[in-house]
Each structure stands twice: as C-alpha cells, then as structure tokens.
Structure 1
Amino acid sequence: MRVKFLLGATLTSAVDQSAGAWTTVTATFAVKDWEGVNLGTGVAAGDVVWMDTGAFEPGTVTEYSIAAVGAKTATSVTVTLSFTTTDHPAPDLSYSVGGKAVITRKTTNKGLFPLFSPSVQQLPDKLAFYAQNRNAGIADAETTVVVGATAPANPVPGQVWVKT
C-alpha cells in the first residue's frame, strides 16, 4: 500500500500576511519524498502542513491548512498557510526557516493522516509521533460506547458495544 500523500519539507521562507499575528503566512518549502512517490507538483489547497516550531516555542509542532498554492515544481512549493493549531498561539515562522515540516493529506472518510517512517523521510521523530497522536485524537473523538444486554440492531461506525 502506498502512502496517500506525504512530502518531507524544509521551510525556506515565511512572510506574515496577518499584521504580525502569523495566522496567515506565505511560505516556501523545499520538498522531497525520500520514497520517490510524490512531488511538489502534487501539493493542493486543503493539504495540511505540520511544522517543527520548537525554535520559537520549545516542544511545539504547529499545524496549518494550505489555503492556496502558488508556484510549484517537483522540489519546491510556495503556499498560503492558515493557522489551525488550537493548543498554542501562532508562532513567528521566521524563527523556523531551515526547520523541518511535513506536507500531507487527510483521508477522505475519517480525516486520518498517513503514518510515515521518520528515518526514511529524513524527518524528526516528533513529526511522526504528531501524526500518530493526531490520528488517535480523531479516532477517540469518533468512538462511542453503547452499554446493554443486546448489541444495537444498526451499529454505526465508531460505536463499541459493551455487553452487560
């Protein structure tokens, strides 16, 4: 099975478009899929960027949605990013130039993200673990527990039956 869409990336420039808030950013990335499957020309609006922003705020990975795609080649892409992380403020990405990122795409049905090998993609472990934790949060939010003597007649996806 091939990964849906995933590129390793290095941030080469970042320009704030939101009057110092860094919630809308024009960013350029050098991109590479070390497995040789995807290219920068495949990046599309709606894709997601996870960036190691620990240079600005230690320990953080920040998530953005790609709002628009500008110039793109096999090895670089310029995009407009919209800040989507909810657990910390938008960082000043000028501190992250030269830092690592992942450009990826959600699955159609569940909105899950592909898992990847950080050693193959030459990316920090923290980005791979972010993918796992992000998926766990999505799966956990969709699980409901039904308690009863009999199983539901029409169970819905994500429903778990516990027999009493």
Structure 2
Amino acid sequence: MDDAELLEAVARKDESAMAALFDRYSGLVYSIALRVLREPELAEDVMQEVLLQVWRQPGGFLSQKGSLGSWLAVVSRNRAIDVIRRRARLTPLEEMVLPEPRNLQRTIEDSRMMDRVREAVETLPEEQQSSLHMAYFDGLTHIEISERTGAPLGTVKTRIRSALATVRKALQV
C-alpha cells in the first residue's frame, strides 16, 4: 500500500494499516526526535505521540503539501523542540543544549538508506552477517575475526567482501 491508501485505511480505524504505517515510519520519527532530544526515553515518547496523532487524526496530513515522511519528520522535530521548551522552564538557559538545525529531507533520505542497508544485511547468510558485524560494529580486524570464529583468514575476507558486494548491489536497485 502507498501512503495515501494507508492513511485512508487508518481513517477507517484499520489497525493493520496503522501497524504498517508504524513499521514504515516509526524509525524515522524516533531518529529525528532522538537527534533533537539526545535521550532515548524522551524520543520514544515523542514517537508515540506523533504516531498516536496520526491514528486519532489521519486527516491532519495533506498530501498536496508534500510526502507523509516529510510531514512526520517536521512534526517529530517540532514535538521534540516542544519537549525541550517545556524542560527549559526547569533548566537554566546556560545548561540547555539546543539542537543543530538539520536538513530534514537529508535526514529522511539517510533513514531510508539505513533501512535498505538493514534489509540487505538481513538477507545475507549468517556467516556473512556475523563477519560483517564483527568487522564494522565490533571493530575487529580480519585476523581477530578469524581467531574468534575459527574460520581461515581467507574465508573471513571472502565473507566480508561478498557481504559488501551483496549490500552494494541491493542498494543500486
């Protein structure tokens, strides 16, 4: 379903449509709120508020004004800033950290790209996923991965190279 169809279904209180909308946009809304607030718990609260608003008032979004993702990004940022403002009444101005203005369209594109990368990685065989994770997220060298897994060094290098090629190919489609 495209966004317009999802919103129509949400307007009819179709819970599965709301679940699909949540799956599609919760990561984007959360990541923007987290960038502004820098606190995961508050970012989760903002994400819930924003998506609950869509459930309650799906007609609040006007497709003529842009994409649903862009609208949700702006609403998420504004809600996060509102949280900062509410907290500012309790926090001295000198201690307050304001968010850096960001290009929301770029943030949306980055989030979508990360979703595509995540999906591509999830399709990899377990050995490739594991080797890729150890190399890029755990910061291990190929030799350390070889020692940890018991796989020959050449096999580790091949797994990582194949995994990267598969992800690259998936992103070009």
Confirm or deny a common fold (TM above 0.5): no
Q: Relative contact order (C-alpha < 8 Å, sep 6+): which is higher?
A: 1
Bigger radius of gyration:
2
**TMscore range, shorter length:** under 0.3
Relative to its length, the structure with more strand (as a share) is: 1
TM-score by length of 1: 0.27
TM-score by length of 2: 0.26
